[in-house]
Amino acid sequence: MLVSFPGQNNMLVLRSFMILFFSCITIKINLCFPSIPSSLKTLSIDGHFDFEQVEHAAKDFGNRYSYIPLAVLYPKSVSDIATTVNHVWQIGGGSELKIAARGHGHSLQGQAQAHRGVVINMESLQGHKMQVHTGNFPYVDVSGGELWINILRESLKHGLAPKSWTDYLHLTVGGTLSNAGISGQAFRHGPQISNVYQLEVVTGKGEVVNCSEKQNSDLFHSVLGGLGQFGIITRARISLEPAPEMVKWIRMVYTDFATFTRDQEKLISGKSTFDYVEGFVIINRTGLLNNWRSSFNPQDPLQASQFKSDGRTLFCLELAKYFNHEDMVLVNQEIKTSLSQLNHIPSTLFISEVPYMEFLDRVHISEIKLRSRGLWEVPHPWLNLFIPKSKIHSFAQEVFGNILTDTSSGPILIYPVNKSKWDNRTSVVIPEEDVFYLVAFLSSAVPSSTGNDGLEQILIRNKRILDFCEIAGLGVKQYLPHFSTQGEWKSHFGPHWEAFTRRKSTYDPSAILAPGQRIFQKLIAYS
């Protein structure tokens, strides 16, 4: 005779329930997820999906986040992208499938990744051959997956070039236009998103839409600086200008921050002699000027050799003047006159003369060196901030005076831009003042290091900077923003949040696109 105890019965019931529960989950997973790749396999496209070799799409320049997709799409045509997006949209809440467009993989925090979703390799898009159009208003039509370096090479064949750049040219058009795209030319021409005539966009419904300031203008302005939330840029018409042959590339040093910023602000106001204005911060570095000698010539070699940094925090002003050979005499006179009005340390003036292409592609040379030393594919916990002009001194006093006291773990850029060159109809968020600064902490973390150059310490430092900005009420906005909660995103967009969410519901109502930004969650219908 079998004897059972009440506790045993309860355990048997619980065990049976758990087995049934997990069996149901397994059945549900097996029913849902395998059907997604098979449904993608049935799509009629010119390119192809890869369901096996997908790990590379879970990696980016930031080297900190890795979300593995179910599939990578290699489109040959815009129709391939539209078909795929429309298919996922039609499935709706019946699946968790989402889509991310990936360019050259230069995102910092997984923004171009799609966990268990589809990543579109935009560089394989072959639907648009680059076409340069000359005339009174020259432009170039390019694929959204085209690299800016290739646009430069092609447009130079016609004596033309885009007006506004990023410091690094091995980025895709769609990637930079989804953010803003800024460099030292932004004070004059605005960011790259201010130099676009027309876009072709695949919306979150899979619709292919041509848009410009006059045609579908709301979508046009939504997508520019829209972080990929409203559509995938598949083609862009970029404004061009006559390209120079050469560049006078100039550097000089300041010890006083107020003098440094005053000169920067003077240079971006009115009719500036220079075509490019940037600056960077040098913390506790020795032998700095000697390091420049390989590519820059000191105006006064003797005085330059006697300059001592003494561990001080220094501020370097970097300028560029474009010119053609026949204008050499006039350009030299203009530069001399302009420099005489600045208040840098005279012995630290260094000048170089380089071809236009070499100047614009200068960061790639550094990349090659870092790759050779195994220091390129490391974590890059970058922090990019827009800071109102009225708050830049408070920011510098605390950050450069207290928070950053040791040698920095990467370049620190700092330069002002004019708000008047930015279009407030786009989705990008900037401070309200007429002049604001970009301050970029471009850190590289040394693998396995537990010191100041280690990932953990850099992240702590970044948080200290952000916390100070918040507590001091500096009105700072992140560029290439990253937040963990929708509440933080709402705070970031401020009064623009309502328009941003309206645009999302209009152009990507199922929240399919750019899940790596972690702004909106796709609503899943569980049954």
Active site residues: 106, 167, 278
Instruction: Output the CA torsion 100→101→104→109 (10° steps).
Output: -30
Residue type, 252: M
Residue 114, SS3 per DSSP: coil
Instruction: Output the CA torsion 111→113→115→117 (10° steps).
Output: 120
Residue type, 236: A
Residue 447, SS3 per DSSP: coil
329/372 Cα distance (integer angstroms): 40
Residue 158, SS3 per DSSP: coil
First to last CA, the chain: 45
- Tokens 């390989």 locate to 294
- Tokens 């009064």 locate to 495
- Tokens 């827009």 locate to 386
264 within 8 A of 319, measured Cβ to Cβ = no
- Tokens 């006179």 locate to 333
Beta bridge partners of 142: 236
Strand pairing category for 196-203 and 160-162: unpaired
Q: In 338-377, where do the E strands start and end?
A: 350-355
Give CA separation, 462 vs 404, 413, 420, 441, in Å: 10, 15, 29, 9
47 within 8 A of 77, measured Cβ to Cβ = yes
